Amino acid sequence: MSNPKLLDLFCGAGGCSVGYHRAGFEVLGVDHNPQKNYPFEFVQMDALDYLRQQGHKFDVIHASPPCQAFSRATRDKSKHPDLVEPVRALLRETGKPYIIENVPGAPLIEPLKLSGMMFGLNTIRVRWFETQPAIFFAPIPVRKHASTARQGTQPIVNEQYICVTGNFSNVDYGRKAMGIDWMIRSELTQAIPPIYTEYIGRWMMNLVFGQTLDVMDLGALVS
């Protein structure tokens, strides 16, 4: 049997796509910008147009609409479109299982909240995921949040946790912290660790396709 097909909209350089691929999906990415480092089949096109035209051909759809309208780092949020609602409406029209990913504060419905500390990564990078069918169970954190964490480009160290925040001025360290080895610095700043979507992808394989995967045992995920 062929692997289920997953459409990754607003895919960037493929952080989410790699996670879903590791979970067993055949992935195609769509972005309006060229993505020379994207590791799978890629279509350069407006994500909403592609979703309208081709979304029905996929088994599961992931979308990461722009986060600037909700990001704390954005000074004038009025200059940036809120695409979450239009994306959700189109996803629901397809009738397909879906995931919407965005930053904390985005208007997602009962989102699953994941961070690097849940997977033993040296980065916090909290992201929210609205999923249909709903996934409510996040992994138990394997590291505690650094009480001294602050925004910046250097590692912050205390007894409990080493975290990396900011824009990853040290590219090699950022790649190791994110579990990503193919992106340049500008791509890393926009990416999320693939382990997040590998976790979600395993749940989807279980909930949608009935595949028996031990999604709660992170031994296969956390290195």
Q: What is the pLDDT of residue 67?
A: 64
Residue 150: is its pLDDT beyond 70?
no
- Going by pLDDT thresholds of 50, 70 and 90, the confidence category of residue 169 is low
Q: How far apart are CA 213 and CA 203, in angstroms?
A: 8
AA letter at 123: T
Q: What is the pLDDT of residue 80?
A: 52
- For residues 67 and 116, the model is more confident at 116
Residue percentage of the chain with pLDDT more than 90: 57
Q: How far apart are CA 32 and CA 42, in angstroms?
A: 11
Q: What is the pLDDT of residue 154?
A: 43
CB 47 within 8 A of CB 81: no
Domains of the chain from N-terminus onward: 5-140+192-220 (3.40.50.150)
Looking at 81-90, 112-121, 208-217, which range is the least confident one? 208-217
Instruction: Summarize the confidence of residues 2-25 as an average pLDDT.
Output: 96
Neighbours of 129 (CB within 10 A): 23
AA letter at 63: A
Tens digits of residue pLDDT in 112-144: 999 988 888 888 889 999 999 999 888 876 655
Q: How far apart are CA 30 and CA 44, in angstroms?
A: 6
Q: How far apart are CA 65 and CA 126, in angstroms?
A: 16
Q: How far apart are CA 129 and CA 16, in angstroms?
A: 12
Q: What is the pLDDT of residue 176?
A: 87
Please compute, for residue 15, the number of CA atoms within 13 A of its CA located in the half-sphere on the CB side: 25
Q: What is the pLDDT of residue 130?
A: 97
- For residues 9 and 158, the model is more confident at 9
- CB-based contacts of 158: which residues, under 8 Å, 6+ apart? 146, 147, 148
Q: What is the pTM of this model?
A: 0.84
Annotate 64-119 with DSSP letters as a single string: ----TTT-TT-S-GGGS---HHHHHHHHHHHT--EEEEE-TTS--SS-EEE-GGGG
Q: What is the pLDDT of residue 56?
A: 97
Instruction: Summarize the confidence of residues 52-73 as an average pLDDT.
Output: 82
Tens digits of residue pLDDT in 195-212: 999 999 999 999 999 886
